[in-house]
Amino acid sequence: SNQRLRAEAATKFEEMASAMLSEGLKIYAGSTYRSYDYQLGLYNRYVAQDGFAEAEKYSARAGYSEHQTGLAVDIADLSLDYDNFEKTKEFTWVKHNAHKYGFILRYPKAKFHITGFKYEPWHYRYVGDISEYIYKNNLLDIYKEKIKEYLEK
């Protein structure tokens, strides 16, 4: 619908969603590209709601959000309930297959010390061909360095 991703990421997301649909599962791109202003407003709302320290655990400041790259997607099932996405068949499928389409679970459990963000089972990042390697080797440390290099360009 009105969700936007970079062309390659969008194509791969659509391929993944089609593969799932053929197995009777349906996902949505719940949140994709966000402008600087949108992210600024979102972050400020979270700070007002939960305080600075807590908001820092789950929301990126404007200018630092992966959503601003057009490569991140918050995946939802039919319920559109992110908090319960982990309990769905869709999550299980995506968790075990997203890497085949160039996506990785960006904020996995027990990786706060690496990512700086709490566990978000719905947040996937398009990284392309390296996704298979990251997935099989659980290498978010390498991924973090690649993001840093990308943001410094």
| Distance of alpha carbon 127 from alpha carbon 140, whole angstroms | 12
**What CA–CA distance (Å, rounded) separates 140 from 7?**
24
Q: How far apart are CA 136 and CA 104, in angstroms?
A: 11
- Examine the residue annotation and report whether 120 is marked as an active-site residue of this protein: yes
Q: Considering 54, 90, 120, 149, which one is annotated as catalytic?
A: 120
Beta bridge partners of 123: 74
Q: What is the dihedral of CA 153, 102, 87, 21, to 10 degrees?
A: 130
Residues designated as active site: 120
